[in-house]
Amino acid sequence: MTKKKIQIIVCGGTGCSDKNSNAVAESLTIEIEANALENDVKVVRSGCFGLCNLGPVVRVMPDDVVYIGVKPSDAQEIIDEHIMKGRVVERLLFTDALTGKKLRSAQEMSGYRKQMRIVLRNCGIIDPENIEEAIAHDAYEALARVLTTMTPDEVIKIVKDSGLRGRGGGGFPTGLKWEIARKNKADEKYVVCNADEGDPGAFMDRSVLEGDPHAVLEAMAICGYCIEASKGLIYIRAEYPLAVARLKTAIAQAKEYGLLGENIMNTGFSFDIEIRYGAGAFVCGEETALIHSMEGLRGEPTVKPPFPAEAGFRGKPTNVNNVETFACISPIILKGAEWFSSIGTEKSKGTKVFALAGKINNVGLIEVPMGTTLREVIFEIGGGIRNGKKFKAAQTGGPSGGCLTEKHLDTPIDFDNLVAAGSMMGSGGLIVMDEDDCMVSVAKFFLDFTVEESCGKCAPCRIGNKRLHELLEHITKGKGVPADLDRLRNMCLVIKDTSLCGLGQSSPNPVLSTLENFKDEYEAHVTAKKCPAGKCRDLMEYFIIAENCVGCTACARVCPVNAITGERKEPHVINPEICIKCGACKEKCKFDAIIIK
């Protein structure tokens, strides 16, 4: 074996951990010890690599060889072949869905191409539970520079000049938010990190906290210095146990190293951070509802002004930013406002992290410059649609966003372009749909989530969305009439115009965008009483094609309600009056004899 220091990095994010990556790391360690390689080879547990559907993921450095789907039983082969003999284990390499080629390094993968990792700079690289590894990758260098060489106003100017906008969905200029909080004088101020990530299919903030928690702690301290706050609070949902555990470890280590707490770096500046837990209420992602929840009150939004920068936590000036926004701060301080503002578009600077999910080959976490097109994200970075299906739509911005279609594929993704297309950036969830998805059902699914998560404080959201959902339910059951489509649109506009907070104001977006882009599907539901995608159960009817049926009786044997009759070796028949449309017969048939109309 060549005498060089080797790191075997095992993904320790939630996704890979659920697939037993802990056992993979342990097996690798056992094999290293069995071959007396402890001085040359080290196993490191990292955060998320971003290749979430391929785990457990193992990366051998400095060779930069990535293995996917690794099992504990593969550890011996990796050590024997790759580490001892220098031969790559080909069978564990990633196969590109577009070319069919085996790829060795992360940079060769379509999931990594065209990415620019600023927020995710250390995720999948460092051990998030080892502060020394974070420091070796420039953690707390920006804080040291700020505390020893810069005034708060100078720091705020850099953040303003960078063009950084809040990544939590609103897109408010971060530097301006800090400046407002600084100008509001009080005996006590607070810095709050919003880690209450509630969008279906979104896991950006969780992955950053699991993979690089010090990036957020450092940025919160910098913000505290700028606005004259000595206390930071991280509001995180209790359903993120791994992120919470790593945050606790990071806070304890930062205090031990004098990077948090009293008299940081002997500069006279003191700043401490506590963790506050949320119960998973989606509405608590809104900053005023979040603050009320932290105060032990009901998580409901309030009318603004006053904004939290004027009167927030315990009535004191409070700056609220989300995880991704804070993770941008240190690189901006170290590399300068001009560097960050050179990335992205005119009004949307820097990069954006997206969680790709749905009918896409490369499910996972990506970070791309603002202005990257939807086509590049889905077909180049995302590897295209699964099983060769046709792209139909992409939902951006979570349940509050809209569905973008094929005509939007070449639209640059940034704050303003997404709003103009009838969607929004949101926190960064991006769910891809294919030709088999029913867009009426998709709109109903997201509205169902919103109805469940509404705090109920204002009538337009509490009652209006419920009525909207009932109307969609009516349509998907085949009970709608053409006039219902005008009713849908009118109700959506009223809810948007009269709801108290962003949840209600944006909740009709999925309905409006699908009405705009897929009106033919709505019309098929209300006029022909058909679901073109074959997804709405009440509008389905299962048929057996007589010439294809060989009378094997397999379908009849799995039917739970005995809706299928026929003699052996003779064509069978489905009784639509009894059929519950469960699909068991179609799944069992090997002769393509069962179809849905």
Mutual angle of helices 509-517 and 439-453, in 10-degree steps = 170
What's the pLDDT at 395? 92
Angle, CA of 161, 163 and 169, to the nearest 5°? 150
Q: What is the pLDDT of residues 440-453, one digit of tens each?
A: 999 999 999 999 98
- Give me the residue label for tokens 């547990």: 45
CA dihedral (135, 136, 142, 146) positive or negative? positive
Residue 174 · residue 325 · CB < 8 Å: yes
Q: What is the dihedral of CA 425, 426, 429, 430, to 10 degrees?
A: -30
Average pLDDT over residues 507-523: 94
What's the pLDDT at 72? 97
CA pair distance 531, 479, nearest whole angstrom? 12
CA pair distance 270, 264, nearest whole angstrom? 6
Task: Check whether 166 has a pLDDT greater than 60.
Answer: yes
Task: Check whether 3 has a pLDDT greater than 70.
Answer: no
CA pair distance 209, 207, nearest whole angstrom? 5
Six-digit token string for 542: 């299962």
CA pair distance 50, 353, nearest whole angstrom? 10
Taking CA atoms, 30 is separated from 34, 76, 326, 455, in Å, by 6, 9, 38, 51
Class of domain 131-336: alpha beta
Q: What is the pLDDT of residues 11-39, one digit of tens each?
A: 999 999 999 999 999 999 999 999 999 99
Average pLDDT over residues 340-349: 96
Q: Model confidence at 4, in pLDDT bands (50, 70, 90)?
A: low
User: How, if at all, do strands 318-322 and 190-195 pair?
Assistant: parallel
Question: What percent of the chain is predicted at pLDDT more than 90?
Answer: 80
Please list, in sequence order, all residues whose beta carbon lies within 8 angstroms of the beta carbon of residue 524, skipping any fewer than 6 positions away: 530, 531, 532
Of 95-99, 196-200, 575-579, which gets the smallest average pLDDT?
A: 95-99
List, by residue range, all CATH 1.20.1440.230 domains of the chain.
Answer: 439-528
Q: Model confidence at 1, in pLDDT bands (50, 70, 90)?
A: very low
Class of domain 351-434: alpha beta
Q: Which residues pair with 219 in a beta bridge?
A: none
What's the pLDDT at 2? 45
DSSP percent split of the chain into helix, strand, coil, nearest 5? 45, 15, 40
Q: DSSP string covering 363-427, please?
A: -EEEEEETT-BHHIIIIIIS-SBGGGPPEEEEEESGGGSEEE-GGGTTSB-SHHHHHHTT---TT
Residue 11: its H or E element? strand 6-11
Residue 557: its H or E element? helix 554-558
List, by residue range, all CATH 3.40.50.11540 domains of the chain.
Answer: 131-336
Record the pTM: 0.91
Q: Count Cα neighbours of 186 within 13 Å in the Cβ-side half-sphere.
A: 21
Q: Which residues pair with 364 in a beta bridge?
A: 356
Six-digit token string for 493: 């506009």
Q: DSSP string covering 216-269, please?
A: HHHHHHHHHHHHT--EEEEEEETT-HHHHHHHHHHHHHHHHTTSSBSSGGGSS-
Averaged confidence pLDDT in the chain: 93
175 DSSP assignment: H
Nearest to 429 by CA among 363, 511, 492, 385: 363
Please list, in sequence order, all residues whose beta carbon lies within 8 angstroms of the beta carbon of residue 52, skipping any fewer than 6 positions away: 13, 15, 16, 203, 363, 364, 365
Residue 205: its H or E element? helix 204-211
- Give me the residue label for tokens 């953690």: 139
CA dihedral (474, 477, 480, 486) positive or negative? positive
Q: What is the pLDDT of residues 248-303, one digit of tens each?
A: 999 999 999 999 999 999 999 999 999 999 988 888 888 999 999 999 999 999 98
CA pair distance 579, 573, nearest whole angstrom? 11
Six-digit token string for 425: 């950036």
Q: What is the pLDDT of residues 352-376, one digit of tens each?
A: 999 999 999 989 999 999 999 999 9
CA dihedral (455, 461, 467, 471) positive or negative? negative
Q: What is the pLDDT of residues 37-85, one digit of tens each?
A: 999 999 999 999 998 889 899 999 999 999 999 999 999 999 999 999 9
Q: What is the dihedral of CA 78, 83, 86, 89, to 10 degrees?
A: 10
Class of domain 541-596: alpha beta
What's the pLDDT at 314? 96
Six-digit token string for 316: 């004191």
- Give me the residue label for tokens 């009901």: 298
Six-digit token string for 363: 């499910």
Angle, CA of 325, 326 and 331, to the nearest 5°? 100
CA pair distance 75, 471, nearest whole angstrom? 55
List, by residue range, all CATH 3.30.70.20 domains of the chain.
Answer: 541-596
Residue 163: its H or E element? none
Q: DSSP string covering 48-82, please?
A: --S-TTS-S-EEEETTTEEE-S--GGGHHHIIIII
What's the pLDDT at 107? 80
**Length of the chain, in residues:** 597
List, by residue range, all CATH 3.40.30.10 domains of the chain.
Answer: 6-107
What's the pLDDT at 279? 85
What's the pLDDT at 503? 85
Q: What is the pLDDT of residues 385-415, one digit of tens each?
A: 999 999 999 998 888 888 999 999 999 999 9
What's the pLDDT at 32? 96
The CATH code belonging to domain 6-107 is 3.40.30.10
Determine if residue 13 is left, alpha or beta; phi over 0 gives left, psi from -120 to 50 gives alpha, anything else beta.
beta
The CATH fold assigned to 439-528 is de novo design (two linked rop proteins) (1.20.1440)
